[in-house]
Structure 1
Amino acid sequence: MTQWLLEWIPQVMERLSYFGIGLLMFLENLFPPIPSELIMPLAGFTVSKGELNFQYAVLAGVIGTVIGALPWYYIGKLFGESRIRQLADRYGKWLTISGEDISKANHWFHKRGGMAVLLCRLVPGVRTLISVPAGINAMPIGAFILYSTIGTALWCTLLTYSGYVLGQNYGLVETYLGPISKYILIGLLLVAGGWIWRRRQTQKHRP
């Protein structure tokens, strides 16, 4: 992460408090290089100093994230997978997004539907992109917001509590979560694969 982000994020949170948390999490969904793995742990550290309320900090993060997910949802709904893949391959380097990333997210969505939205909110690097296939496949907006809210609430609570416990070392959350998230993603893929295999086996044995 660039040095200016490390300096800018604490400044925004210090000046704008809960609104700053929500704003940063909103921007994190629009621009994936801004990491929630730093924003919410910093909020947790601020809570540990008695300057913020834990529940309100989490709530601000959830609201900002869900609102930030809506533009991607409507982009998917408006343009469709083929067009978005082309745009991602041409301009996605600025957002660290490629056409292949879009295809992977869409594949995940087809496997798990609404649960993919919930589960992928817990996986860095995928949590933002899953909004696109939800829009591409015209997932009902009410269901999208519900699953997004549940998954985001779990994610924000985990990160905020981690920052609360670690205190001034809240930055370690981002350092260690990156490698761990890869194993989480592999685990989720295995679970999805096992579920699909069992479903097919059940269908084969039906009369």
Structure 2
Amino acid sequence: MSDWIHDILDQFGVVGVGMMMLIENIFPPIPSEVVMPWAGYAVSQGDLSFFGAVAAGSVGSFLGALAWYLFARWFGRDRLTNWVRRHGWWLTISTSDIEQMEAWFARWGHWAVLLCRMIPGLRTLISVPAGFANMAIGKFCVYTAVGTVLWTALLAALGWWLADSYEQLVTPLSWVSTAVIAGMFAWWLFRFVKAGVIRNAAKS
């Protein structure tokens, strides 16, 4: 995956950085841990400015997070609850899970948005409960922007600092991102199988 990402970034520069970070937030398996260290490496080679790379990456990432927040807010809690009652079993989500999510978000809301923007695999997902909880859009934008700029600047600075050795950073960070996503999938699969066993037992 990293090869074609690098090709796009080489061709489009800061526009490519912003575009890939936007896509990363819409389609999480594309890792920012590849995009932003490359941008930092390009800064070290004199191909990009540091502030331009961070700004482009932050704007792209922010727009992706905002899109998910607006979708979740538009979809709404009531529609989600009705959908979960009919189809939630295959996503292993129940109405009680929604209630627990709301209680958790009511307690941690803005801190969750800020911190999760800097955690691989969770940067995109945190926008969804924020939207369902009708978190004030101004507050969401502020905490999302702060977390996003911190994360993109950190990755770009590390890529810049490591220069020609930046791939030593990309590989372990990419594995962290992959491990988080794989762990989430494994947890869903476990819950899916468990729910299927319970449904079959109830029918028999």
Cα gap change, 1:119 to 1:12, in 2 (>3 Å): same
Deviation at 1:88, TM superposition (A): 10
Matched, 1:7 2:3: yes
Deviation at 1:8, TM superposition (A): 1.4
Query: 2:167 and 2:84 mapped to 1: Cα distance?
Result: 34
Query: 2:150 and 2:115 mapped to 1: Cα distance?
Result: 10
Question: Unmatched 5+ residue regions in structure 2?
Answer: 180-204
Aligned to 1:31: 27
Deviation at 1:180, TM superposition (A): 9.5
Kindly name which structure, 1 or 2, has the bigger radius of gyration based on alpha carbons.
Answer: 2
- Which amino acid in 2 is paired with 1:78? W
Cα gap change, 1:34 to 1:107, in 2 (>3 Å): farther
Deviation at 1:176, TM superposition (A): 2.5
The TM-score normalised by the length of structure 2 is 0.73
CA RMSD of aligned residues (A): 3.0
Deviation at 1:173, TM superposition (A): 2.5
Matched, 1:113 2:80: no
Deviation at 1:99, TM superposition (A): 5.2
Aligned to 2:142: 146
Aligned to 1:19: 15
Cα gap change, 1:129 to 1:152, in 2 (>3 Å): same
Matched, 1:125 2:121: yes
Aligned to 2:43: 47
Map 1:160-199 to 2 at 5 A. Answer: 160-177=156-173, 178-179=175-176
How many residues get paired? 171
1:59 to 55, 62, 65: 55
Structure 1 vs Structure 2: percent identity of aligned residues? 42
Deviation at 1:75, TM superposition (A): 2.1
Question: Unmatched 5+ residue regions in structure 1?
Answer: 91-97, 183-207
Q: Which has the bigger relative contact order, CA under 8 A and spacing at least 6?
A: 2
